[in-house]
Amino acid sequence: GDSVTQMEGPVTLSEEAFLTINCTYTATGYPSLFWYVQYPGEGLQLLLKATKADDKGSNKGFEATYRKETTSFHLEKGSVQVSDSAVYFCASRSVVGDKVIFGPGTSLSVIP
Amino acid sequence: DAGVTQSPTHLIKTRGQHVTLRCSPISGHKSVSWYQQVLGQGPQFIFQYYEKEERGRGNFPDRFSARQFPNYSSELNVNALLLGDSALYLCASSKTPLIDEKLFFGSGTQLSVL
């Protein structure tokens, strides 16, 4: 069945460091891919998405490119801030069925 | 506009009891999904409803059921509670069930089964 795998956390970075959170997926057909973020004490919210191969999603300085050949959707940010501290979830939604499949989440802590 | 609202925010039950969780979607959203999030894990899909019809069901036992009302609000029911049902239950709404549609999540109901 469909699945999403992402790098284990927690990840701790200093402010202004470069961030990469790896995500790979297995899916039937051509899924849409998402990154959701959960800030402390808040609900899940969409960070960015990409709906077809080679699409790049971007928001708030974060980027991720839909790589069909490597079945990956890695999240990157050039310079993280303390306010980026949160749990990040990679997710996919396939043409087969309507459910969104989430990865286990990666906790990011950014220290000043 | 109000976001997705869930009630109650916290709930404590004992094994064998029944629980009903409620969700009101964003105005204009006709699709509601339910997810279970165990501490330290990603959300797991339970149900999706669109226009009051079940459109998808995850790998959960028949003790879990749901429905959607004419105003598009939804209830999740869990019978014969087990300790393992302790989790954060999330409701998400969207305008349609299309695969690229953005989901809007509520803050969840934290269920503790003792």
Per-residue pLDDT for A97 more than 60?
no
For chain A, the average pLDDT equals 92
Least confident span in A1-15, A62-76, B96-110: B96-110
Per-residue pLDDT for A96 more than 70?
no
CA angle B37–B94–A32, rounded 5-degree value: 75
Asked if B28 reaches chain A (Cβ–Cβ under 8 Å), the answer is no
Please report the DSSP string for B4-35 in residue order. -EEE-SEEEE-TT--EEEEEEPPTT--EEEEE
At residue B102, the pLDDT reads 85
| Mean pLDDT across A51-66 | 96
CA–CA dist A94, B47 (Å, integer): 15
Percent of chain B at pLDDT above 90?
Answer: 80
User: In the sheet where B74-78 sits, what is the strand order?
Assistant: B5-7, B19-24, B74-78, B64-68
| Mean pLDDT across A12-39 | 94
CA–CA dist A73, A89 (Å, integer): 11
By the 8 A CB rule, do A18 and A75 touch? no
CA–CA dist A103, B5 (Å, integer): 24
Asked if A1 reaches chain B (Cβ–Cβ under 8 Å), the answer is no
| Mean pLDDT across A37-60 | 93
- CA-based nearest residue in chain B for residue A91: B42
Per-residue pLDDT for B34 more than 90?
yes
Task: Give the gap in angstroms from C-alpha B46 to the nearest C-alpha of chain A.
Answer: 9
Least confident span in A51-55, A98-102, B35-39, B59-63: A98-102
The band of B20, judged by pLDDT with boundaries at 50, 70 and 90, is very high
The band of A9, judged by pLDDT with boundaries at 50, 70 and 90, is confident
* Chain B environment of A91 (Cβ under 8 Å): 42
CA–CA dist B75, B20 (Å, integer): 6
CA–CA dist B80, B88 (Å, integer): 18
Residue A24 to residues A33, A69, B91, Cα–Cα distance (Å): 10, 11, 25
